[in-house]
């Protein structure tokens, strides 16, 4: 594992109440066990940890410049010190770039003394790195703050890597390494159960409970839902196993753009940046856009930038100048192709919102692959699909057939919305309360198969307020596109809270914010609320027979498999639906629970609607793991978190209502487009 981490095997366990093998109107306790692998920090000197993360700085020349990024990784870690040994532990707060051992002083025996001199005098330790930033920690009693030289700190053993401590690289590598195909996951889960003696009849802990665990896993009945059909401007294509063939012809609605610019942004050390390939990509891109019905000509401006990947200030200044020039030339769109080595994507998205110029940011490696025509047919199609959606176009619709009729759930009088929530890093600077970003998406335009959205910031305790504001925004958009008419039906999918928080969702969201929001309308619609949980109690659904030689996509259950009995809660309206194709690892099948249902939708209607909506993402010709309104809403929570992080970095924090106005897309040129495609 990279960055001074290692993986340990383990398992996730919980007990829950399900219908059991006899199905509906029955109840059984169930023990859920799922094999897992968890990253832990290697017990090593703190400076070795730094070198593992910043491999290009083995001599620590940029330690001060990287102090902020390094703090993010080691904050909360307990360290020992070489001079005190393992008997005393210190908890890292951060690495302070402007405090060094040679210059930082404090009172010692009535006189000022530097940290470096103190360690020489008190412990006879001559520090070798006196100009490195000090590590601020909480002392052994976790109250007093102390400043320790980084060279004396050693990471204490047996510390799990928290989500906050994971870098994008570590997260990417951990996901790849931990992705177990179904057959291997079954084997590892059984090993874990045997190691814990869970099925051992002599287990004293289980016997004390007066229960017996069945040795074999529960076998449930599932069924395969019918796949819908997609229609483009001319082509009709049928979905199979969560995939379908895209179109080389036109879109249902081609977008249009007048003045636009394309910039190629390379790192000074990036040898993959090639002017000829960039121009080849540009020509291919415009030709393919026109072929699909997008009204676009060659870009008005084509620019090339070379940036130092280590100089963040230079990157920000150059990108700000690029957006400023684009606005002065009245550009309606700014397409960027950026070196894989440059960490500029979040900055570009922040400037997109600041200057209100829609942007699409493509990796240089993808650009080169398209220019070289190396297995790039699907890639260029996905790039153009996204471009059209960002321009306000629409790629395809679900087509009515005798086996799947989208008209039954995608109606002009019905809004289908997705709302997702996610805690964001940092707290409100005044109240210190946890801050949450709420993403949303809905089909509020004239085309009920088109979903647009946005996000808002609120304190975590303000869920009701957030939901009321989101519903008001969606209804306002619907009225504007439907000549003042109100929807008579609303379906809401909710995501972002665990199964154990269902009672809070009922109290704060369903019986709180939503009931108040609809009661304030001139004519209250009938509405249904569905809570989605991506990993309900770590439940996995496997095929009964798995060939270990098959690739993971064949070992997993296919897209469209639904289970609505035996595995479900005996008193709730609930179903598990695997709407996507799992290409690696084991499928995590979402669970959907209906918490409010004035529309009185049947299970068949709920399942067909949810599966059909998973086909409307518009970018890739594959289904998504969640229905499109909820999937897009979840992506908007990520965008909201990204923009907030950049905003705080560049100009400081602000109250949630001000952040929503400054960073959100409402009342901008991007409000009615799926800008976060």
Question: For the chain, how many helices (H) and strands (E)?
Answer: 18, 26
Structural domain for 421, as ranges: 412-534+590-663
224-233 residues labelled b (16+ CB within 10 A) or e (exposed):
ebebbbbebe
Domain count, the chain: 3
Q: How far apart are CA 563 and CA 219, in angstroms?
A: 11
630 shares its domain with 510: yes
Q: Whole-prediction pTM value? A: 0.89
Strands (E), 512-572: 526-533, 561-563
> ∠ at Cα 153 (148, 159), nearest 5°?
120
Q: What CATH number should be reported for the domain holding residue 139?
A: 2.170.260.10
- Report whether 48 contacts 11 (CB < 8 A): no
Which SS3 state, helix, strand or coil, does residue 503 take?
A: helix
- Report whether 226 contacts 403 (CB < 8 A): yes
142 shares its domain with 74: yes
Find, among 447, 465, 373, 370, the residue nearest to 410 by Cα.
447
Q: Is residue 405 part of a domain?
A: no
Q: For the chain, which residues score pLDDT lower than 50?
A: none
Q: Is residue 567 part of a domain?
A: no
Query: What pLDDT was estimated at residue 357?
Result: 97
* Residue 430: how many other CB atoms lie within 10 Å: 8
Using the 3D structure, point to which of 140, 156, 172 is the last residue of a domain: 156
Query: What pLDDT was estimated at residue 398?
Result: 96
DSSP state of 240: B
**Residue 366, token pair as written in the block:** 């993808």
Query: What pLDDT was estimated at residue 431?
Result: 60
Q: Is residue 248 part of a domain?
A: no
326 shares its domain with 450: no
366 shares its domain with 264: yes
Query: What pLDDT was estimated at residue 663?
Result: 96
* SS3 per residue for 336-360: EEECCCCCCHHHHHHHHHHHCCCEE
Q: Is residue 202 part of a domain?
A: no
416 shares its domain with 385: no
Q: Which residues, in sequence order, are CB contacts of 540 under 8 Å at separation 6+? A: 34, 182, 185, 586, 587, 588, 589
Q: What CATH number should be reported for the domain holding residue 509?
A: 3.30.420.10
DSSP state of 332: S
Strands (E), 544-608: 561-563, 573-578, 591-597
466 shares its domain with 601: yes
66 shares its domain with 151: yes
Determine phi and psi for 658, rounding to 5 degrees: -70, -40
Query: What pLDDT was estimated at residue 346?
Result: 94
Q: How far apart are CA 634 and CA 623, in angstroms?
A: 15
Burial class (CB in 10 A: 0-12, 13-18, 19+), 84: middle
Q: Is residue 493 part of a domain?
A: yes
- Report whether 286 contacts 324 (CB < 8 A): no
Tens digits of residue pLDDT in 221-265: 999 999 999 999 989 999 998 999 888 789 999 999 999 999 999
Using the 3D structure, point to which of 156, 171, 189 is the last residue of a domain: 156
DSSP state of 218: P
Using the 3D structure, point to which of 95, 126, 156 is the last residue of a domain: 156
Q: How far apart are CA 113 and CA 106, in angstroms?
A: 6
Q: Is residue 668 part of a domain?
A: no
511 shares its domain with 613: yes
340 shares its domain with 458: no
480 shares its domain with 380: no
Which SS3 state, helix, strand or coil, does residue 601 take?
A: coil
Q: What CATH number should be reported for the domain holding residue 342?
A: 3.40.50.2300
**Residue 530, token pair as written in the block:** 């569905």
Q: Is residue 54 part of a domain?
A: yes
Chain-centroid distance of CA 201 in Å reads 43
Burial class (CB in 10 A: 0-12, 13-18, 19+), 479: middle
463 shares its domain with 358: no
307 shares its domain with 378: yes
Q: Is residue 33 part of a domain?
A: no
């Amino acid at each position: 594992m990279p960055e001074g981490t290692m993986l340990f095997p383990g398992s996730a366990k919980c007990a829950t109440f399900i219908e059991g093998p006899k199905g509906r109107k029955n109840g059984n306790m169930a023990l859920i066990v799922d094999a897992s692998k968890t990253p832990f920090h290697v017990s090593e000197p703190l400076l070795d940890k730094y070198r593992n993360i910043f491999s290009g700085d083995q001599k620590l020349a940029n330690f001060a410049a990287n102090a902020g990024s390094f703090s993010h990784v080691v904050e909360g870690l307990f360290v020992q010190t070489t001079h005190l040994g393992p008997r005393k532990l210190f908890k890292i707060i951060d690495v302070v770039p402007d405090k060094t051992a040679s210059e930082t002083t404090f009172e010692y025996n009535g006189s000022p003394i530097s940290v470096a001199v103190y360690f020489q005098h008190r412990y006879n330790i001559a520090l070798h790195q006196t100009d490195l930033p000090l590590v601020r920690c909480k002392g052994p009693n976790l109250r007093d703050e102390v400043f320790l030289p980084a060279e004396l700190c050693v990471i204490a053993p047996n510390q799990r890597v928290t989500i906050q401590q994971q870098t994008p690289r570590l997260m990417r590598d951990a996901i790849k390494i931990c992705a177990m195909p179904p057959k291997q996951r079954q084997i590892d889960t059984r090993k874990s159960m045997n190691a814990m003696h869970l099925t051992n009849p002599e287990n004293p802990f289980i016997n004390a409970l007066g229960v017996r665990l069945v040795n074999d896993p529960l076998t449930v009945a599932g069924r395969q839902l019918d796949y819908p059909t997609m229609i483009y401007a001319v082509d009709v294509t049928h979905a199979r196993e969560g995939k379908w063939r895209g179109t080389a012809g036109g879109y249902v609605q081609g977008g249009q753009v007048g003045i636009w610019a394309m910039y190629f942004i390379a790192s000074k050390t990036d040898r993959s940046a090639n002017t000829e390939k960039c121009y080849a990509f540009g020509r291919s891109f415009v030709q393919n856009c026109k072929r699909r019905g997008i009204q676009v000509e060659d870009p008005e401006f084509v620019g090339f930038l070379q940036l130092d990947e280590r100089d963040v200030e230079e990157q920000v200044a150059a990108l700000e100048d690029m957006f400023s020039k684009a606005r002065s030339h009245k550009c309606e769109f700014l397409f960027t192709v950026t070196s894989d080595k440059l960490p500029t994507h979040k900055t570009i998205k922040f400037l997109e919102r600041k200057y209100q110029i829609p942007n699409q940011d493509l990796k240089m490696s993808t650009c080169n692959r398209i220019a070289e025509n190396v297995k790039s047919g699907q890639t260029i199609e996905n790039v153009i699909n996204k471009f059209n959606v960002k321009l306000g176009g629409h790629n395809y619709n679900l087509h009515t057939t005798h086996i799947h009729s989208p008209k039954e759930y995608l109606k002009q009088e019905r809004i289908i919305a997705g709302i997702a929530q996610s805690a964001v890093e940092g707290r409100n600077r005044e109240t210190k309360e946890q801050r949450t970003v709420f993403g949303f998406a809905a089909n509020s335009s004239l085309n009920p198969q088109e979903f647009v959205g946005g996000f808002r910031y609120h304190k975590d305790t303000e869920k009701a307020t957030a939901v009321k504001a989101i519903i008001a925004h969606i209804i306002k958009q619907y009225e504007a596109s439907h000549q003042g008419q109100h929807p008579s039906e609303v379906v809401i999918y909710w995501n972002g809270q665990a199964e154990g928080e269902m009672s809070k969702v009922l109290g704060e969201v369903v019986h709180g914010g939503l009931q108040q929001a609809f009661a304030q309308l001139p004519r209250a619609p009938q509405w249904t609320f569905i809570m989605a949980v991506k990993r309900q109690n770590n439940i996995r659904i496997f095929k009964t027979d798995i060939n270990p030689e098959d690739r993971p996509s064949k070992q997993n259950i296919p897209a469209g498999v639904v289970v609505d009995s035996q595995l479900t809660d005996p008193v709730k309206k609930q179903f598990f639906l695997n709407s996507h194709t799992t290409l690696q690892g084991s499928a995590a099948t979402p669970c959907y629970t209906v918490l409010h249902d004035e529309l009185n939708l049947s299970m068949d209607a709920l399942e067909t609607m949810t599966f059909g909506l998973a086909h409307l993402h518009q970018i890739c010709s594959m289904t998504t793991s969640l229905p499109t309104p909820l999937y897009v809403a979840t992506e908007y929570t990520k965008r909201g978190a990204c923009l907030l992080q950049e905003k705080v970095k560049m100009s400081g924090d602000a109250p949630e209502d001000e952040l929503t106005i400054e960073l959100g897309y409402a009342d901008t040129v991007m409000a009615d487009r799926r800008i976060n495609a």
